[in-house]
């Protein structure tokens, strides 16, 4: 695993030890960023099932100002911290050990708005529709913001959730990617 492009291009990322986390492949990550960017002029991201932090780190490398990384797994949190430290991104990152729903409620209470939210939960624990509904209900996406949902290719997410609508769907092997944008 590595950073694909931007200021940290080519830098290696540590993977979460064990088999509990499935990292986004470089091919899928590159495709995601080609669909949503590929580069950004500032912005704030939320990497909700951070794992190694690869998606949020890629967003920072490509121009996001800040990113919040959340995972409930202790090993994942340690890996994210090691990766952001190794890439000198500590001043641009916040890392929290929490579950997804609690993290979204906490961000909503802080009235945090995001330009990009990355959802890559374990495929066996799909709660994507409920999480996307929560993001919409709490108005957590800034104007022109996006949600990237990575999921098993068999999962079919709805075309629209509140003010969010699908702008792109792609399949890469066993992985599906659905991108929602805020219709404002």
pLDDT (average), residues 125-140: 90
- Residue 126 predicted with pLDDT over 90: no
pLDDT at 6: 96
pLDDT at 103: 93
Average pLDDT of the chain to the nearest whole number: 92
Domains and CATH numbers, the chain: 26-182 (3.40.50.150)
pLDDT at 176: 93
pTM reported for the whole predicted model: 0.95
pLDDT at 124: 66
pLDDT band at 123 (very low <50, low <70, confident <90, very high): confident
pLDDT digits (tens, 9 = 90+) for 16-40: 988 767 778 888 999 999 999 999 9
Percentage of residues of the chain with pLDDT beyond 70: 98
DSSP the chain: -B--SSTTTT-B-PPPSSSS--PPPHHHHHHHHHHH-S--SS-EEEETT-TTSHHHHHHHHTT-SEEEEEES-HHHHHHHHHHHHHTT-GGGEEEEE--HHHHHHHHHHTT--EEEEEE---GGG--HHHHHHHHHHTT-EEEEEEEEEEEETT----SEETTEEEEEEEEETTEEEEEEEE--
């Amino acid at each position: 695993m590595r950073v694909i492009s931007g200021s940290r291009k080519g830098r290696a990322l540590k993977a979460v030890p064990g088999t509990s986390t499935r990292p986004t492949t470089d091919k899928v990550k590159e495709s995601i960023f080609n669909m949503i960017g590929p580069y950004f002029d500032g912005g704030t991201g939320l990497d909700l099932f951070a794992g190694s932090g690869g998606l949020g780190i890629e967003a920072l490398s490509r121009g996001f100002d800040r990113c919040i990384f959340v995972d409930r797994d202790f090993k994942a949190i340690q890996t994210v911290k090691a990766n952001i430290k190794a890439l000198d991104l500590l001043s641009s990152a916040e890392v929290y050990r929490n579950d997804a729903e609690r993290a979204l409620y906490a961000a909503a209470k802080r009235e945090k708005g995001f330009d990009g939210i990355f959802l890559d939960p374990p495929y066996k624990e799909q709660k994507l529709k409920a999480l996307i509904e929560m993001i919409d209900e709490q108005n957590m996406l800034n104007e022109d913001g996006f949600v990237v949902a990575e999921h098993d290719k068999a999962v079919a997410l709805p075309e629209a959730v509140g003010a969010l609508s699908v702008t792109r769907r792609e399949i890469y092997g066993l992985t599906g990617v659905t991108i929602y944008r805020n219709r404002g």
